[in-house]
Amino acid sequence: MTERAPQPTTAAANPPVQPLTSNLLPSDVVRISATANVPAPERQLEKVAKLIDVSKCIGCKACQSACIEWNDTHPDMEENVGVYENPHDLTPEMFTLMRFDEYVNPEGDLEWLIRKDGCMHCEDPGCLKACPAPGAIVQYSNGIVDFVSSNCIGCGYCVSGCPFDVPRIHKTAQVSKKCTLCSDRVAVGQGPACAKACPTQAITFGTKESQIALANERIEDLKSRGYDNAGLYDPQGVGGTHVMYVLHHADKPGLYSGLPEDPRISPVVEGWKGATKTIGLAAMGLAAAGAVLHGLFSKGNQVSAEEEHEAEELVVKTAATPPENREGL
Amino acid sequence: MTNSWTDIKNTDLVVIMGGNAAEAHPCGFKWVTEAKHHRGAKLIVVDPRFNRSASVSDYYAPIRPGSDIAFLMGVIRWCIENDKVQWDYVRNYTNVGYLVREDFGWQDGMFTGYDEEKRSYDQTSWEYELGEDGYVINDETLEHPRCVWQLLKKHVDVYTPEFVENLCGTPKDRFLKICEMIGETSSPTKTMTSMYALGWTQHSKGSQNIRGMAMLQLLLGNIGVPGGGMNALRGHSNIQGLTDVGLMSNLIPGYLAMPRETEPDFATYMSTRGNKPLRPNQMSYWQNYGKFMVSFMKALWGDKATAENGWGYDWLPKLDIAQYDAMRMFNMMKNGEVNIYFCQGFNPILSFPNRGKMTEAFSKLKLLVVMDPLATETAAFWENHGIYNDVDSASIQTEVLELPTTCFAEDEGATVNSGRWLQWHWAGATPPGEAKTDVWIMSQIYHRIKALYEAEGGKAPEPIMNLSWDYADPEEPTAAELAMELNGRALTTLYDATDPTKVVLEAGKQVSGFGQLRDDGSTMGACWIYAGCFTEDGNMMARRDNSDPSGMGVFQQWSFAWPANRRVLYNRASCDPDGKPWDPSRVLIEWNGEKWVGPDIPDIAVTAKPREVGPFIMNPEGTSRFFSRKLMRDGPFPTHMEPFESPVANPLNPEMRGNPVARVFPDDLATMATSDEFPLVATSYRLTEHFHYWTKHNYVNAVNQPEFFVEISEELAAEKGIKKGGRVRVWSKRGQVWAKAVVTKRIRPLICDGKTVHVVGIPIHWGFKGAARKGFGPNTLGPFVGDANIETPEFKAFLVNIEPASEGLA
Compute the distance between CA of residue B613 and CA of residue B284 in angstroms, rounded to an integer.
Answer: 10
Phi and psi at A172, nearest 5°, equal -85, -40
| Own/partner long-range contacts of B466-471 (Cβ < 8 Å, ≥24 apart) | B466/B301, B466/B304, B466/B305, B466/B312, B466/B315, B467/B300, B467/B301, B468/B299, B468/B300, B468/B301, B468/B302, B468/B303, B468/B304, B470/A1, B470/B302, B471/A1
Share of chain A above pLDDT 90, in %: 71
The reply to whether residue A78 touches residue B709, judged by beta carbons under 8 angstroms, is no
The reply to whether residue B424 touches residue A5, judged by beta carbons under 8 angstroms, is yes
Inform me whether the pLDDT recorded for B448 exceeds 80.
yes
Closest residue, chain A, to B687 (C-alpha): A60
Which has the minimum average pLDDT: A275-279, B595-599, B621-625, B784-788?
A275-279
Note the pLDDT tens digit of each residue in B597-607. Answer: 999 999 999 99
Look at residue A21 in the predicted model and tell me its pLDDT: 79
The reply to whether residue B708 touches residue A80, judged by beta carbons under 8 angstroms, is yes
Report which residue type is found at B167: L
Note the pLDDT tens digit of each residue in B683-741. Answer: 999 999 999 999 999 999 999 999 999 999 999 999 999 999 999 999 999 999 999 99
Q: For chain A, which domains are there?
A: 26-73+85-326 (3.30.70.20)
Closest-CA distance of chain A to residue B489, Å: 12
Report which residue type is found at B461: P
Inform me whether the pLDDT recorded for A105 exceeds 90.
yes
> CB contact, 8 Å: A172 with chain B?
no
Closest residue, chain B, to A226 (C-alpha): B58
Share of chain B above pLDDT 90, in %: 98
Residue among A2, A5, A7 minimizing CB distance to B472:
A2
> Which residues face B750 on adjacent strands?
B757
Closest CA to A176 of A234, A141, A126: A126
The reply to whether residue B484 touches residue A111, judged by beta carbons under 8 angstroms, is no
Closest residue, chain A, to B39 (C-alpha): A221
Closest residue, chain A, to B545 (C-alpha): A9
Look at residue A275 in the predicted model and tell me its pLDDT: 52
> CB contact, 8 Å: B424 with chain A?
yes
Which residues fall within 8 angstroms of residue B759, CB to CB, at 6 or more apart?
B48, B49, B64, B65, B680, B681, B682, B683, B712, B713, B747, B749, B750
Closest-CA distance of chain B to residue A96, Å: 12
Inform me whether the pLDDT recorded for B323 exceeds 50.
yes
Look at residue B235 in the predicted model and tell me its pLDDT: 85
Compute the distance between CA of residue B52 and CA of residue B500 in angstroms, rounded to an integer.
Answer: 61
Chain A (260-299) residues lying within 8 Å, Cβ to Cβ, of chain B? none
The reply to whether residue B723 touches residue A84, judged by beta carbons under 8 angstroms, is no
Q: By CB neighbour count within 10 A (0-12 exposed, 13-18 middle, 19+ buried), where does A255 fall?
A: middle
Average of per-residue pLDDT across A131-158: 96
Q: Which residues of B touch A87 (CB under 8 A)?
A: 703
DSSP string, B304-317: G--TTTGGGGGGS-
Note the pLDDT tens digit of each residue in B451-464. Answer: 999 999 999 999 99
Chain A (110-169) residues lying within 8 Å, Cβ to Cβ, of chain B? 110-114
**Are the C-beta atoms of B634 and B205 separated by less than 8 Å?**
yes
> Taking CB atoms and an 8 Å cut-off, how many pairs form between chains A and B?
151
Mutate to test the interface with B, among A7, A54, A80 (most CBs of B within 10 A): A80
Inform me whether the pLDDT recorded for A51 exceeds 90.
yes
| Start-to-end C-alpha separation, chain B | 44
> CB contact, 8 Å: B724 with chain A?
yes
Average of per-residue pLDDT across A30-59: 95
What global pTM score does this model have? 0.94
Note the pLDDT tens digit of each residue in B55-111. Answer: 999 999 999 999 999 999 999 999 999 999 999 999 999 999 999 999 999 999 999
Q: For chain B, which domains are there?
A: 6-235 (3.40.228.10), 326-453 (3.40.50.740), 666-804 (2.40.40.20)
Report which residue type is found at B475: E
> CB contact, 8 Å: A13 with chain B?
no
Chain A (60-119) residues lying within 8 Å, Cβ to Cβ, of chain B? 60-62, 64-65, 68-69, 74-84, 86-87, 102, 104, 109-114
Note the pLDDT tens digit of each residue in B142-169. Answer: 999 999 999 999 999 999 999 999 999 9
The reply to whether residue B52 touches residue A78, judged by beta carbons under 8 angstroms, is no
The reply to whether residue B742 touches residue A56, judged by beta carbons under 8 angstroms, is no
Q: Is the dihedral of CA B24, A185, B700, A98 positive or negative?
A: negative
Report which residue type is found at B353: P
Look at residue A253 in the predicted model and tell me its pLDDT: 98
Compute the distance between CA of residue A137 and CA of residue A157 in angstroms, rounded to an integer.
Answer: 11
Closest residue, chain A, to B701 (C-alpha): A65
Residue A311 binned pLDDT confidence (cut-offs 50, 70, 90): low
Closest residue, chain B, to A66 (C-alpha): B700
Describe the strand order of the beta sheet including A203-207 as a list of residue ranges: A203-207, A48-53, A243-247, A231-233
**Are the C-beta atoms of B30 and A201 separated by less than 8 Å?**
yes
The reply to whether residue B706 touches residue A79, judged by beta carbons under 8 angstroms, is yes
Residue among B40, B703, B708 minimizing CB distance to A87:
B703
